[in-house]
Amino acid sequence: MGRIISIASGKGGTGKTTTTANLAIALGDKGQKVCAIDADLTMANLSLVMGIEDANITIHDVLAGEADIKDAVYSTSYENVTLIPASVDWEHVLKADPRKLPEVIKSLKNEFDFILIDCPAGLQMDAMNAMLSGEEVVLVTNPEISCITDTMKVGIILRKAGLAVLGFVFNRYGRSKNDIPPEAAEEVMEIPLLAVIPEDPAVRKATLEGIPVVKHRPNSPAAKAFVKLADEIIRIAGFKARVMY
């Protein structure tokens, strides 16, 4: 039975898409069959990061009732990893019904070991539909107090909605001397700290090349941190959901 995990945050720009892409590839390298889904219906970026361009059928077509979800699944150049891309033009955005996301995504549950949903930030309707498509959630935050508190609020609401919050990823730590320490962030968030992803120029270079850092610079500090995150997700994902459901 597959595990459906929403990758969510309280603010934009925290690194959800980067986390989704690198986690998917790291899980694939460990023999897990993974489907990454771009559920950010207005600001789609995951397909660019994952190397899929000019997709004929996207999640938008599925949500518009014009295609089957299985026709929107694309192979990537990464072992065991597939992608459901989103469209980038406004015409597709207007006709897609985000309320269908939970039903559509859950129909893939038995096809993969892990389904990772790259969600929009915040608590708007599109974001909520994407986040509630998962059964478990991983939150992504940066080491700034406003970002931490906003992401904490998202976690509280998702727990009340019945999702199993696995914990949070502390992304881009070390870029400022004023960064909130990981242990302080964990105390504020009141959920487990799954991984600390350090500020690493290799991530920016990898992004410019269009190749996630776990493949572009596998020995970089950030890449190693994403691999550790994959180990932790394999260890804990599914357990909380089994307890809750």
pLDDT at 240 over 80: no
Q: Where do the structural domains in the chain lie, given as residue ranges?
A: 3-244
Q: How many CA atoms lie within 13 A of 67 on its CB side?
A: 19
Could you identify the residue written with the tokens 């727990």? 159
Rounded Cα distance between 116 and 3, Å, is 8
Render pLDDT for 140-163 as a digit per residue (tens, 0 to 9): 999 999 999 999 999 999 999 999
Three-class SS state of 77: coil
Residue type, 175: R
User: Mind giving me the DSSP string for 104-155?
Assistant: HHHTTGGG-SEEEEEPPSSSSHHHHHHHTT-SEEEEEE-SSHHHHHHHHHHH
Integer angstrom CA distances of residue 32 from 23, 29, 35, 90? 11, 7, 10, 34
Q: What is the pLDDT of residue 88?
A: 81
Q: How many CA atoms lie within 13 A of 214 on its CB side?
A: 25
Residue type, 25: I
Q: What is the mean pLDDT of residues 12-27?
A: 97
Q: Tally Cβ neighbours within 10 Å of residue 89.
A: 10
Topology annotation, domain 3-244: Rossmann fold (3.40.50)
**pTM of the prediction?**
0.95
Give kind and range of the element (H or E) at residue 78: none
CB 154 within 8 A of CB 8: yes
Q: What is the mean pLDDT of residues 190-202?
A: 97
At 93, is the pLDDT very low, low, confident or very high (cuts 50, 70, 90)? Answer: confident
At 239, is the pLDDT very low, low, confident or very high (cuts 50, 70, 90)? Answer: low
In sign, the C-alpha dihedral spanning 212, 215, 218, 224 is: positive
CB 15 within 8 A of CB 140: yes
Rounded Cα distance between 42 and 31, Å, is 32
